[in-house]
Amino acid sequence: MKAAIINGPGNLEIVEKPVPKPGPEEILVKIKYCGICGSDLHAFKTGFLEPSITIGHEFSGVIESVGKGCKGWSAGDRVTGNNIISCGKCSFCFNSRDNLCREVRRLGITDHGTMAEYTLFPAKDLVKLSKEAPLEQLALTEPLSVALHAVNKVSFAGKDWILIIGAGTVGLILLSLLKQKGVENVIVFETNPYRQNTALKMGASAVIDPGQKNLDQEVTSLTSNRGLSLVFECAGLPETIQEACSQAAAGGKAVILSICYQPVEINFLSLVTQEIDIVSAFGKTGSEFTEAAGMIAEGLIDLFPLVTGIIPVDKIHEAFNHPASGSIKTLVQF
Ligand SMILES: [Zn+2]
Ligand SMILES: [Zn+2]
- For ligand 2, the distance from its centroid to the CA atom of residue 48, given in whole angstroms, is 25
Model confidence pLDDT, tens digit, residues 120-133: 999 999 999 999 99
Q: What are residue 240's DSSP bridge partners? A: none
CA–centroid distance, 331 to ligand 1, in Å, is 12
* Domain 2-141+284-333, CATH number (from 3.20.20.80, 3.90.180.10, 3.40.50.620, 3.30.930.10): 3.90.180.10
Q: How confident is the model at residue 326 (pLDDT cuts 50, 70, 90)?
A: confident
Please tell me the distance between residue 281's alpha carbon and the centre of ligand 1 in angstroms. 14
Measured CA to CA, the distance from residue 4 to residue 56 in angstroms comes to 8
Q: Report how far ligand 1's centroid is from the alpha carbon of 321 (Å).
A: 18
d(CA 97, CA 286) in angstroms, rounded, equals 9
End-to-end CA distance of the chain: 10
Query: Distance, CA 41 to ligand 1 centroid (Å)?
Result: 10
Spacing, Cα 11 to ligand 1 middle (Å): 19
Task: Report pLDDT digits (tens) over 177-214.
Answer: 999 999 999 999 999 999 999 999 999 999 999 988 89
For residues 105 and 120, what is the distance between their CA atoms, to the nearest angstrom?
13
- From 9, 15, 14, 2, select the one nearest 43 (Cα to Cα): 9
Check whether 5 has a pLDDT greater than 90.
yes
**Cα 202 to middle of ligand 1, angstroms:** 21
What is the structure's pLDDT at 244? Answer: 97
CA of 147 to the centre of ligand 1 (A): 11
pLDDT tens readout for residues 90-140: 999 999 999 999 999 999 999 999 999 999 999 999 999 999 999 999 999
Quote the ligand 1 centre to 249 CA distance (angstroms): 30
Q: What is the pLDDT of residue 323?
A: 83
CATH 3.40.50.720 positions along the chain are 154-280
- Distance from residue 97's CA to the centre of ligand 2 (Å): 8
β partners of residue 312: 333
- Chain mean position to CA 199: 16
Ligand number, closest to the Cα atom of 104: 2
| CA of 51 relative to ligand 2 center, distance in Å | 27
pLDDT band at 329 (very low <50, low <70, confident <90, very high): very high
CATH fold of 154-280: Rossmann fold (3.40.50)
Q: How far apart are CA 43 and CA 12, in angstroms?
A: 10
C-alpha count within 13 angstroms, C-beta hemisphere, residue 248: 29
- Residue whose C-alpha is closest to residue 37's, from 50, 51, 22, 49: 49
How many whole angstroms from 286 Cα to the centroid of ligand 2?
A: 11
Residue positions counted in the chain: 334
- Give the distance (Å) from ligand 2 centre to CA of residue 161: 36
Beta bridge partners of 309: 330
Q: What is the pTM of this model?
A: 0.95
Q: Where in the chain is the domain with CATH 3.90.180.10?
A: 2-141+284-333
